[in-house]
Copies of this chain bind each other. A is one copy, B any other.
Amino acid sequence: MAVRAKAASQELAAVRTGAKNRWLLAAASALETQSAEVLAANAEDVAAAPGYGLNAATIDRLELTPARIAAAADGLRQVAALPDPVGEVREGGVRPNGLQVLKVGVPLGVVFFIYESRPNVTADAAALCVKSGNAVILRGGKEAIHTNTALHRLIAAELAAAGLPADAVQLVPTTDREAVGHLLKLGDWIDLAIPRGGESLIRRVAREATMPVLKHYDGNCHVYVDAAADLGMAERIVVNAKCQRPGVCNAAESLLVHAAVADTFLPRVGAALRGRGVEIRGCDETRRLIPGTTPATDADFRAEFLDLILSVKVVADLDAAVRHIAAYGSKHTDAIVTADLAAARRFVQLVDSAAVMVNASTRFNDGFELGLGAEIGISTDKFHARGPCGLRELTTYKYVVTGDGQIRE
C-alpha cells in the first residue's frame, strides 16, 4: 500500500487543481446519490457497536444519517472551493546577481491518517490530503469498518474519471493493531502520520512512528479571568468555552480567577455553570465562594475532562495564572479575559500555547474559525505547523532558483 501510495503521490504532485476539484465534486455527488449503500453499511456498524463496548454518546458519533451524509458532501464541496496550496508562490524576489528565488508550495507526499469512530472524518481527511497533492492511507477504527469501507469505495471510484491516480486514496482493509505498527515503520514511503483520537492512540503513534507526526495529545485549555475583566463578558466566555461542545479539544477544562475579582465573579459564574449542569471542582477559596463545590485534586487540574466538569482556582495575579498554565496546560489553547492592555500583552507573550485568545472563547481555535477553510487536525508541537492545520500545513515548499548562467565567484 505504501509503495503504491508513494507512486500515486508522485503523479498527484503534478496534477492540476481542476482535476482535484472535479474529483471532490464528483465524490460529493456520489455520496448523495449512493447514500443508501453507506447507510446500510453504517447500520451494520451501529448494530455491532454495543459488542465493542460503545456507549450511547459514542454510538451517536458513529451513526450516519442522511443529514450527516449531506454535510459530508458539503464538506467536499467546500474543500473544492479552497485555494490550492500546491504551486503557490509563498515568497519570491530577485537577488543582486539577477537570480530569481521563489519559495513554491509542494505536497509532502504520502499521509497516513489514523482515526477513531467518527466516519465523517473519512471523506474529510481524503479531501484535504488529495487537494493538497498528497496520497493518503486511511485507517479508521474497527467500530466503523463497514461504513469506512463503503465511504472509501464511493469516493475512490471517482478518482480515475477525474484524472487522478487510483491509489491516491487507500483504506487499510484490516482492523488489527499490527497493521498500524507495520505502516508506522515505513518512513521511507510515508511522509507524515496524523493520529486523531484518544490520547493512548496518539501516544502509541508518536512512539512507533518513523516519520514526522502531526498531533496533540490533549487539550487542557484555560480561561483566566483577570482583575480588569468585564465580568459579564468573562461569564459568557467561560460558559461558552466549557458548555458549547464539552467533548472537543478546544473546550475549556480549567478556570483561573484573579483574587481581586473572585468574590464577585465566582458566585455569579458558579450559578451560571450549575444552571448548565456543570460540576465544579475547586480550590479552597473557590469552595468558600461557591458552596457545594467538590475539592479539586492535582489530577483535576491536569485533567482533560471532555465533559461538563470544570476545575477552578483562584490565583494571586496574572503571573500566577501563567505559571499554573505552564505547569498544568497542554500548550493547546488558553484565554485571558481583561480590559487591561498591559495584562493582555503580558499574557500573550508568556503563555507558550499554539493559540492564545484575548477576550474570546477557546472554542475559536479551529481551522474554520481562524480562516484556514478546513482542518485536518491541531498541532501542539513547535516543528512545522502549530495550531489548526489546513491545506497549506499539509504541504512543504521547494526553492526554485532561475538565472541566466550565474556561477559563484
A residues whose Cβ falls under 8 Å from a Cβ of B: 10, 13-14, 93, 95, 99, 101, 106, 108-109, 191-192, 212, 230, 233, 236-237, 239-241, 244-245, 344, 348-350, 352-361, 363-365, 369-371, 381-384, 386-388, 396-408
The chain B residue with its CB closest to the CB of A404 is B359
A237 proximity list for chain B (CB < 8 A): 405, 407
What is the predominant secondary structure among interface residues of chain A facing chain B? mixed
Q: Report which residue of A10, A108, A402, A407 has the largest number of chain B beta carbons within 10 angstroms of its beta carbon.
A: A407
A396 proximity list for chain B (CB < 8 A): 382-383, 386
The chain B residue with its CB closest to the CB of A405 is B233
Task: Decide if A364 touches B99 in the complex (CB within 8 Å).
Answer: yes
CA A358 to CA B106, docked complex, whole Å:
18
A350 proximity list for chain B (CB < 8 A): 14
Task: Decide if A364 touches B109 in the complex (CB within 8 Å).
Answer: no
Task: Decide if A358 touches B109 in the complex (CB within 8 Å).
Answer: no
Task: Decide if A408 touches B369 in the complex (CB within 8 Å).
Answer: yes
Task: Decide if B407 touches A192 in the complex (CB within 8 Å).
Answer: no
A-B contacts, 18 listed (Cβ < 8 Å)? A14-B350, A93-B371, A191-B382, A192-B383, A212-B381, A237-B407, A240-B407, A241-B407, A244-B407, A355-B399, A360-B401, A360-B407, A361-B406, A361-B408, A364-B401, A370-B401, A387-B399, A388-B399
